[in-house]
Amino acid sequence: MSAYQETKVHGTHDFPFAVYRGLVPEWLSDFPLHWHEEMEIIYVEKGSVSISIRNTEYLVRGGEFVLIHPQTIHSIRQHEDDRGFYHNILFRFSMLESGADDLCRKKYLEPIYNRQLLMPEYIDISHPLNEKLTPLIRILWSHQRDRQFRDEMLIKAKLFEVLYHILEYCEEADKERAYEDIVFDKLKLSLNYLEENFAENITADTMAAVSNYSVSHFSKLFKQMTGESLTQYLKNYRLEIAANRLRHEPTKVSEIALSCGFSNLSYFSRAFYQKFHMTPSEYRKTPEL
């Protein structure tokens, strides 16, 4: 799916912590722009993947990882012909808070959540945080996968330890970054509009009006943020929605194409093959790993 606010529940209401695995390109060729309330750590175990955070793209190799602020737009995609196996760790700061007057919440968690304190995003092999956090990250994903009695306490303890080390390398946000936040918040409005109306005839004029920019300025910012023109982005978004429906709905291919904004079935089939390297019917028959 493309740039949108992710509504999937990660973990449970009383323990909002989750771990996932991804394999590029076998399991997915990309996970387009999205954001969520959770902080996220994406650790590449083998190979390499391209990860974009806001308008910065990182080539993350095996043994490296990225740190992503809550509510921050990001995406994952295949780098050239490389394969990449990675782990996602997501958690809400609420699971680490003990109440409104909690000192750690006010002094550390809120400034990170509000981007007043900025975490380093890309942690390569040589970064001091790599050696400190990698053992903790491995503990987190192993205990979540095979969770036993009392492991929730260990997970919370390790998350505090992760943030403790990260805070050593945080920087205060400057005025330029504060302005960037305003720009990205406006663009999120247009992306929400696209998500809700993707099957309709969406134009740059409409999207610009939603974000309160001129068409030319919006188009420039949109390309800067997504790396694609609105036309390219919308097509890829529709194809991702269609692929998801092919996996999980028995609806006819032609009906799925139409419901995703493709009025011409031949064009849909060509575009789908170009993106996924198989026809819609072949994709539907391929088991989900």
Domain ranges, ordered by start, for the chain:
4-172, 176-285
Tell me how far apart the alpha carbons of residues 157 and 94 are, in angstroms, rounded to a whole number: 14
Fold of 4-172: Jelly Rolls (2.60.120)
Name residues whose C-beta falls within 8 Å of residue 133's C-beta, 6 or more positions apart in sequence: 41, 65, 123, 162, 165, 166
Tell me how far apart the alpha carbons of residues 287 and 289 are, in angstroms, rounded to a whole number: 6
Tell me how far apart the alpha carbons of residues 199 and 249 are, in angstroms, rounded to a whole number: 17
**C-beta neighbour count of 152 within 10 angstroms:** 16
289 residues of the chain, pLDDT tens digit each: 344 455 566 778 889 999 998 888 877 777 777 888 999 999 999 999 999 998 889 999 999 999 999 988 888 988 988 999 999 999 999 999 887 788 999 999 999 999 999 999 999 999 999 999 999 999 999 876 666 667 889 999 999 999 999 999 999 988 777 777 778 778 878 888 998 999 999 999 999 999 889 999 999 988 887 778 999 999 989 998 999 899 889 999 999 999 999 999 999 999 999 988 899 999 998 876 5
Element (H, E) at 74: strand 74-77
Tell me how far the alpha carbon of residue 78 is from its chain's centroid: 14
Write down the pTM of the prediction: 0.75
Structure tokens at 183: 């720009």
Sign of dihedral through CA atoms 56, 121, 27, 16?
negative
What CATH number was assigned to the domain covering residues 176-285? 1.10.10.60
Can 4-172 and 176-285 be said to share one CATH topology? no
Bridge partners, 77 (sequence order): 30, 50
| Secondary structure of residue 102 in the 3-state scheme | coil
